Amino acid sequence: MDFKKLYRELVRRNVFRAVVAYLAVAWVLIEVSSTILPTFDAPPILLKGLIYLLGIGLIVWTGFSWVYDLTPQGIRKTPEVYHTSETRDLNSRRLNAVILGAGLVAMLVLLAGSFWAGSRWSKVTDSSPNYRIAVLPFEDRSANAEFEYLREGLAEDVIGKLFNFSGVSVISSRSVFQFKDSDKSIEQISGELKADIVLMGNYTITGEKVDVKVEVIGTKDNQVLNYASIAGDISHIRDISFEIGKRLQEALGIPSTESWERGGIAMRQVNPEAFKLNALGKSAMRYHTGQKLEDITRYFEAAIELDPEYMDPYIGMAEAFVFDVNRGYMSPAEAAVKVKEYALKAEKLNPGSGEVSCMMGIIHSFAYDFKNSISYFEKALEKSPNFILTYQWYPFALILTGDFQRAEELQEKAMLLDPLSSLNEMLLAIDYVFQDKHDKALALIDSKLAMDPDDIQMIWMKAVCLADKGLFDQAYETILKRKKYLDTNFISAYIFAKVGDNARAEAVLNEILARSKKQYVPPSQIAFALCGLGRYDQALEQIEEAFLVHDQWLFWVVYTSLMDPIKQDPRYTSLVSELGWVKT
């Protein structure tokens, strides 16, 4: 075969141009189809079918272009010899126009597809994976005890800025800060916290200058996602924490939002001494060892005095009073006044704050107004989806309105946000006990005790669960495993009486009564001890008092079997009817 002759004939018949024109048009069709078909959820086989069809069409078109030409008179059979070069040139120009036009259309389709794909990428980024982030305490390389507070204070400030992000789960400082001064590796720490991302750093202070170095590490492959060296003046410490947060944001590809800047509060300069006092107050509340309320609040009060426009100490004060109610050291009715005072001051500084909404929900819970508290808690979840306190208080409002399933979901989320604190497991176990799901409660408690046999909260909760099942001997044995603290607890008095050790039960009751003369003691706790000893009239008097002061331990009276001996008394049924709490 004479290939040169064949080539010249292919050129003469414009076969090459025809093939290029066909490929250009086919490319446009494929690009358009690959963009449009997925939008309508078309099956992938349609696009594959189109490509196969176009491949077959190329063979047919190549043969067609050998035989036929595009002429001014339409499609005509290609002559053996062109009578004029004008006809051949016209055919070539038309094919060139098809090629150029198809090329321009293809470019436009590619550009449009790129913008559309970019839009889709942005949407994917908005709903990015729910990263679990751990912000570790910073390392102090200054060898100056004066600035030790920044180790936790700086990390806590970054964590606070992440409260408002729904695309991430920020692990609570209560869990993360357990690794302060730890010699464990990043792999070990992230494994225990189940963290996808770890932010760690160190700082050096020279005079008034702070030099902070930060690494954002992806724990899956230990890859450094972002590294930053940030320098600034100690008086602008919040600018530094804000910049650290932005670096974390950039490393994860989280879109910039208004909530990141918290209404501009984050960028306002804060008195550095007030920042220090606020950090010390949070540390005192986190590592409390039974100290009085004033030992915690004095830090926040001093911070507010130095910088009245600094929002965080107001939230700290509100949390401190809530914390004292949890400890049973203050009545909810008394605490509500103080919590509201400081929450409203924080609201003025940062309207719409999720933390403030949580506090308002707690205030309504203190007043037994659980239906109205729910709207505040929902707003808190929307505005600050990583604020742990919401997940610890909201479930009780849901339980008392009968939504146990939603309560469990929130408590499980709390365990993810604060994985190393047994408090959240205890709250979930309480939920189970209130529903008479004792086996689930005991399984959860035992799993926690397997990791820490001396966990006093879990030991106490196990004793309560066993007592609620009527297994008083086993509950008694559980208490004896950890005598310290538990031997003077109101549940212990109840259990001692139920196993026949009345002398010991009376001793615990007398100690509780003596303590109640010096400080607030929840009346419900006294009622449990009295009920165990069979002093039902006195127990009812305490329950009526509990109702008046909005004692949160009254939940336990209604939702457990421990007080069953008095539940037929008209005084009790009248009170419960007024509350509207009915155990289903």
Q: What is the pLDDT along the chain (584 residues), one digit of tens a residue?
A: 566 666 666 666 666 667 777 777 776 677 667 666 655 545 556 667 777 787 787 777 677 666 666 555 555 566 555 544 555 555 566 656 655 665 665 555 555 544 444 433 333 333 345 789 999 999 998 877 888 999 999 999 988 888 777 778 899 999 999 999 899 999 999 999 999 999 999 999 988 899 999 999 988 888 888 888 888 888 888 888 888 888 787 777 766 543 444 434 445 678 999 999 999 999 988 876 666 788 889 999 999 999 999 999 999 999 999 988 888 888 999 999 999 999 999 999 989 899 999 999 999 999 999 989 999 999 999 999 999 999 999 998 998 888 999 999 999 999 999 998 888 899 999 999 999 999 999 999 999 999 888 888 899 999 999 999 999 999 999 887 666 666 678 999 999 999 999 999 999 999 999 999 988 999 999 999 999 999 999 999 999 999 999 998 999 999 999 999 999 999 999 988 888 876 65
Specify the pTM. 0.74
The helix/strand/coil state of 344 is helix
Q: How far apart are CA 309 and CA 349, in angstroms?
A: 7
Domain positions in the chain are: 3-126, 131-268
Torsion angle defined by CA atoms of residues 300, 301, 305 and 308, in that order, rounded to the nearest 10 degrees: 60
Token pair recorded at residue 23: 């490929």
Q: Residue 210 is which amino acid? A: V
Q: Name which of 563, 541, 543, 566 is nearest 554 in CA terms.
A: 543
Token pair recorded at residue 447: 């799993």
Token pair recorded at residue 472: 């008083």
Q: How far apart are CA 14 and CA 10, in angstroms?
A: 6
CA dist 362 → 17, 411, 428 (Å): 77, 16, 18
Q: How far apart are CA 584 and CA 581, in angstroms?
A: 9
For 131-268, the fitting CATH number among 3.40.50.10070, 3.40.720.10, 3.40.50.300, 3.40.50.2300 is 3.40.50.10070
Q: Chain centroid to CA 528: how far?
A: 37
Parallel/antiparallel/unpaired status of strands 197-206 and 139-140: parallel
The residues, any chain, with a CB within 8 Å of residue 532's CB and separated by 6 or more, are: 493, 494, 495, 496, 497, 498, 505, 562
Q: How far apart are CA 122 and CA 128, in angstroms?
A: 10
In the block, which residue shows the tokens 């609620």?
A: 468
CA dist 290 → 293, 302, 323, 379, 423 (Å): 9, 21, 11, 32, 16
In the chain, the N- to C-terminal Cα span, in Å, equals 94
Q: Residue 9 is which amino acid? A: E
Parallel/antiparallel/unpaired status of strands 131-135 and 197-206: parallel
> Up-side HSE of residue 7: CA atoms within 13 Å toward CB?
3
Q: How far apart are CA 68 and CA 530, in angstroms?
A: 107
User: What is the torsional sign of CA 409, 414, 417, 420?
Assistant: negative
Query: Please, what is the Cα angle at 479 between 477 and 485, to 5 degrees?
Result: 160
Q: How far apart are CA 18 and CA 92, in angstroms?
A: 9
